[in-house]
Amino acid sequence: MEVNIETPKKNVALGRLVEPARAFTESERGKLASELESTTGLKIYTRSLRGSEKAVVFLGRKKDMNYLGLLVESDQNTPAQLGKLNETTVANRVCKLGLFPADATRASWLREALPFLRPRPLGLQKSVGFGDRLGLATPGHIQALRSFGNKDSDAPMQPIFAQQSMRENARTGRTPQSVMDDALWGVFQEGWEQGYGADADHLKTREDVDVCVEAGYTFYTIDPGEYVDNSASTASASDLEEKLRTLPWEFLESSPNRIAEQLSTKPIDLVGRTKQLSRESVLRAAAKYGRAVAHTVELYRHLEKRATQKGLQFELEMSVDETDTVTTLAEHIYIAHELQRLGVKWVSLAPRYFGRFEKGVDFLEEPPLSLEETLDKFEETFALHVAVSRTYGPYKLSLHSGSDKFSIYPIAARLAGSLVHLKTAGTSYLEALHTLAQVDAELFRDILEFSKQRYPEDRATYHVSAEVERIPASSELSDEDLPGLFDHFDAREVLHVTFGSVLNHPDLRPRFFRSLNEHLDIYSEMLQKHFVRHLEPFAS
């Protein structure tokens, strides 16, 4: 079957052909997919089949390439922009058939034609962010969601499939638009119609905001972490006074005396919990987070203006999780009070919680406390964060670096209810390596040894404590032993934080994608199993 590789115009009237599109029944899908596989030589993703009386669209794969298929009744006129369609016979009917590379242009066709492929705001629904650094994980994520109940609407959390930070994009050679397109193809492949969000994660500048608005993101995570003054918590009286003096009070439309009066002169009712803040705790909170609040407000106002110009609906998250010191009750109250007073509307906030949220591993103890004591302290303080979120919102509490934190999921689910957002990222990359450890031992050994070399430098931008010396040499392990490394604390962290170096290596990158593309079914199965563990605690 001939494949059309011309570059058509972007704005194609595909929607006029396939709308109102419907999903086929399981029986219809199987029969038509079988016919199309015989005709095209592709493996047809049966859940992708969508059609009207005039036309059918579908996704198929051959070798390591996906193709968008368009099947049109022979008497239908098709837009010239679609290019050449070939006459063929499918199910004893003469039709016109076109196959097109599943690229950015064709993604724009589908986004225009099928509304369920466009991301949308999720509001206060319980949600999960599935980070995908490779652009191949969305089918496995959807399969995990489908593991609950008998229909897609039984999924325990609303999904965000397109989610990458600018740091991750820079390290993987991707763009906000390519992340959106990859998520779209996964949603189309699996026929997921329950809606999904798109998270422009850890944005720091106006330029970051602008490029994500152009790509159509619906969830914006503002990261003002570099504006947080961690030393304010323990600064001397004179140093604290100087820190307060230099805050941008004109922009904040306030003053030290005014904010202290608003938050410390009378008890604050936090949904049945009465808390009296001291003047000093309020002023230290302002000194620590004042500039972070100002930066968030600035980016929010810029985002609001750009989104309005584009007719884009969006929601906001503020994240201060990647900082050195814990966000106290007074500090959370200060942040929420100021955002609210300055007119910011937000749906989620990620404080810096008590305990250690390291990458790709479970929740860790905070010495000198034991793990059990640390969990007790996390529960106690998380309950206070929930009370603040209900008082000044409601808004969701976001669990950043949330991958594999199985110890705290039951606590968060029980205390926050629906007001929780779980954010994961690198664990899907780890499951790709886990897949390679099972199917391509030689490649995995090369990646492991290279990652151990890169770790001392790559760890600099992460809060991690793994030590290379504690990881067995790959030469000491049999092929059957390699998957066991994914239960090894140090191996998980080392492999996690070196993803950028691996994916930019001139030899490892092509081998990585070639091998993973040959075993996508196994990768999706691994993701499904892994993410069911993440979702189960939030299912009730």
Q: Would you name the residues annotated as active-site residues? A: 201, 317
* Dihedral sign (CA 520, 524, 525, 526): positive
In the structure encoding, which two tokens stand for residue 85, read together?
Answer: 């369609």
* CB-based contact 176:199 (threshold 8 Å): no
User: What's 37-98 look like in SS3?
Assistant: HHHHCCEEEEEEEEECCCEEEEEEEECCEEEEEEEEECCCCCCHHHCCCEEEEECCEEEEEE
Query: Distance between CA atoms of 82 and 65, rounded to whole angstroms?
Result: 20
Residue type, 297: V
Long-range contacts of 199-202 (CB under 8 A, 24+ apart): 199/129, 199/160, 199/162, 199/163, 199/164, 199/317, 199/423, 200/176, 201/129, 201/131, 201/163, 201/164, 201/165, 201/166, 201/168, 201/423, 201/425, 202/165, 202/166, 202/167, 202/319, 202/322
Query: Distance between CA atoms of 469 and 119, rounded to whole angstroms?
Result: 44
Residue 396 host element (H or E) = strand 396-399
Helices (H), 268-343: 279-310, 329-341
Query: Distance between CA atoms of 175 and 380, rounded to whole angstroms?
Result: 40
Query: Distance between CA atoms of 399 and 420, rounded to whole angstroms?
Result: 8
Residue type, 33: A
Helices and strands counted in the chain (H then E): 20, 16
